[in-house]
Chain A
Amino acid sequence: MSCDGRLWVPAFAGTTGVLREFSFIVIGVGRHGVATFAGERVMDAPTAPGAKDVLRQHLIDPEICIRCNTCEETCPIDAITHDARNYVVDPAKCDACNVCIAPCPTGAIDSWRQVVRTDAYTIEAQLAWDALPPQQDVGAAESPDIPQEVARITAVATAGQGGAAAPPWSAAHPYVNLHTLARPAVATVSGNFRLTGEGASSDIRHIVLDFGSTAFPVLEGQTIGIVPPGADAQGRPHFVRLYSVASPRDGERPRYNNVALTVKRVTEDHDGRPVRGVASNYLCDLEKGAAVNVVGPFGTNFLMPNHPGSSLLMICTGTGSAPMRAMTERRRRRIALKEGGELMLFFGARAPEELPYFGPLQKLPRDFIDINFAFSRVPGQPKHYVQDVIRARGKDVARLLQDDQCFVYVCGLKGMEEGVTEAFRDICRHYQLDWDVLLPAMRDKGRYHLETY
Chain B
Amino acid sequence: MEPINYSEKIPNNVNLAGDRTLQRALEHWQPNYLKWWSEMGPDGSQDFDVYLRTAISVDPSGWAHFDYVKMPDYRWGIFLTPSDAERKIHFGEHLGEPAWQDVPGEHRANLRRIIVTQGDTEPASVEQQRHLGLTCPSQYDLRNLFQVNVEEGRHLWAMVYLLHRYFGRDGREEAEALLERRSGDADHPRILGAFNEQTPDWLAFFMFTYFTDRDGKFQLCALAESGFDPLARTTKFMLTEEAHHMFVGESGVSRIIQRTCDAMNELQTDDVAKLRAAGVIDLPTIQRYLNFHFSVTIDLFGADQSSNAATFYGAGLKGRFEEGKRADDHRLHGQTYKVLEIVERRLVEREVPMLNALNEVLRDDYIKDSVGGVNRWNKVIEKAGIPFRLVVPHKAFHRKIGTLANAHVAPDGRVVAEAEWNAHVREWLPTPEDRAFVASLMGRVVAPGKFANWIAPPLMGINKQPVDFAYVRFN
Contacts and interface: CB of A to CB of B under 8 A. Distances in A.
Interface stretch (A105-113, A187-195, A265-273): A105-113
Given A103-B64, A215-B61, A217-B61, A70 B243 contact: yes
A183 to B, nearest CB: 16
Interface string A302-344: 0000011000000000000000000000000000000000000
Interface stretch (B18-26, B274-282, B459-467): B459-467
Interface stretch (A61-69, A236-244, A417-425): A61-69
Interface residues on A, range: 20 to 34
Interface stretch (B39-47, B108-116, B131-139, B244-252): B244-252
B240 A70 contact: yes
Contacts of B66: 172
Contacts of B243: 66, 68-70, 103, 105
Contacts of B469: 170
Contact residues of B: prevailing secondary structure: helix
B223 to A, nearest CB: 15
Which 5 A-B pairs rank lowest in CB-CB distance, beginning with the nearest?
A215-B61, A68-B243, A105-B244, A102-B64, A173-B464
Contact of A130 (B379, B459, B473): B379
Q: Which of A70, A74, A169, A257: most chain B Cβ within 10 A? A: A70
B464 A215 contact: no
A103 B379 contact: no
B420 to A, nearest CB: 34
B89 interface: no
B465 A215 contact: no
Give the most central of B56, B247, B372, B463: most A CB within 10 Å. B247
A106 B247 contact: yes
A48 B370 CA distance: 50
A68 B247 contact: yes
A84 interface: yes
Given A67-B372, A102-B60, A107-B460, 20 more contacts: A63-B459, A64-B459, A66-B243, A68-B246, A68-B247, A73-B239, A74-B60, A100-B60, A102-B64, A103-B240, A130-B379, A170-B469, A173-B463, A173-B465, A215-B59, A215-B60, A255-B56, A257-B61, A307-B470, A308-B473
Interface string B413-453: 00000000000000000000000000000000000000000
A66 B459 contact: no
A403 to B, nearest CB: 19
Given A102-B60, A107-B464, A173-B464, A66 B473 contact: no
A217 B65 CA distance: 10
Contact of B251 (A66, A170, A257, A308): A66
Contacts of B63: 102-103
Interface in A361-387: none
Nearest to B63: A103
Interface string B360-373: 00000000110011
17 contacts: A64-B459, A64-B460, A66-B243, A66-B247, A67-B369, A68-B247, A74-B60, A102-B60, A103-B60, A103-B240, A105-B246, A105-B247, A106-B247, A172-B66, A213-B59, A216-B61, A255-B56
Interface string A291-308: 000000000000000011
Contacts of B64: 102-103
Chain B CB within 10 A, most for which of A74, A100, A103, A257: A103
A384 B59 CA distance: 50
Interface in B215-265: 217, 239-240, 242-244, 246-247, 250-251
Nearest to B459: A64
